[in-house]
Amino acid sequence: MSSALLLAEPEEATRTFLERHLAQDGFEVVGAEDGEALDLLERVCPDLVLIGDPEGLELCGRLRERNRDVPVILLGVQQSDPVDRVRAFDRGCDDYLDRPFHYDELVARIRAILRRGQGRPRMGVITVGAISLDPAARTCTKEGSLIPLTAKEFDLLHLLIAKAGQVLRREDIMSEVWDPHWFGPTKTLDVHVSLLRKKLDDDPGSPSCIATVRGVGFRFSAPDAPA
């Protein structure tokens, strides 16, 4: 079965080019013109969304506000800098390509993301202390109460809690949860860890369930577990 792609690209020439070539490469492509992407998202239920600037950041943020788990690749601006990439990943994109991009690289990244999603093993509920994570239902509870998480927060917590007690390096977290081609600052990781701590920790003055290992990365453990 071919994968369905929703293409929200404002440049008509680029959109036409991608629609034609992606279809030739076996994808089902639905092109979205101005203002159509969110409506089509509900009707098409795509396997992946391609979003082009200038509307890319806003559209990606609005999509993530709906807690959609569909992976997103953002086609950025020409000569972007690391700040553009950080902002894109903060809005919830799964991958980011600068313009002008090479078509073959784009297809390789699309297929890598789709394989990653299909290849994840279905795990049972993971419980560490009072926190339980259900990867199949993509829900998180603490002492039985549901904790609302964005798609990226869930992915980050899933990685941390699945390897509870282990120290995960910043670079490995960025590669697994955000972009396997990531380089540069990891500010977006710190932002998401801070948001998770606010949702998961009972007392801001007490040790967090997500501990910072200075100079290395982060470790998840139950609040009452030994450090």
According to DSSP, the residues that pair with 131 across neighbouring strands are: 128, 142
Looking at residue 157, its pLDDT comes to 93
**N-term to C-term CA, the chain:** 47
Average pLDDT along the chain: 83
**Residues 37-61: what's their mean pLDDT?**
79
Q: 34 Cβ partners below 8 Å, 6+ apart?
A: 10, 55
What is d(CA 86, CA 189) in angstroms, rounded to the nearest whole number? 9
What is d(CA 108, CA 114) in angstroms, rounded to the nearest whole number? 10
Q: 142 Cβ partners below 8 Å, 6+ apart?
A: 130, 131, 132, 200
Closest by CA to 141, choosing from 193, 195, 191, 199, is 199
Given a cut of 80, whether residue 171 has pLDDT beyond it is: yes
Q: How many degrees, rounded to 5, is the angle at CA 218 between CA 109 and CA 213?
A: 135
- Contact by Cβ (8 Å): 153, 196: yes
Q: Exposure of 186 by Cβ count < 10 A (0-12 exposed, 13-18 middle, 19+ buried)?
A: middle
What is d(CA 96, CA 2) in angstroms, rounded to the nearest whole number? 23
Percent of the chain scoring above 70 in pLDDT? 86
3-state per-residue secondary structure call for 73-112: EEEEEECCCHHHHHHHHHCCCCEEEEECCCHHHHHHHHHH
Looking at residue 117, its pLDDT comes to 65
Confidence of residue 175 (pLDDT cuts 50, 70, 90): confident
Looking at residue 20, its pLDDT comes to 94
Q: Which of 102-106, 136-140, 172-176 has the lowest mean pLDDT?
A: 136-140
User: What is the per-residue pLDDT across 61-94, written as a single tens digit (0 to 9) for each?
Assistant: 777 666 466 888 988 877 667 777 777 777 778 8
Using only C-alpha atoms, what is the Rg of the chain? 18
Looking at residue 135, its pLDDT comes to 84
**Residues 18-24: what's their mean pLDDT?**
94
Percent of the chain scoring above 90 in pLDDT? 28
Looking at residue 159, its pLDDT comes to 92
Domains and CATH numbers, the chain: 4-119 (3.40.50.2300), 126-220 (1.10.10.10)
Q: Which of 49-58, 117-126, 130-139 has the lowest mean pLDDT?
A: 117-126
Q: Each residue of 81-115: b (16+ CB within 10 Å) or e?
A: eeebbbbbbbbbbbbbbeeebeeeebbebbeebbe
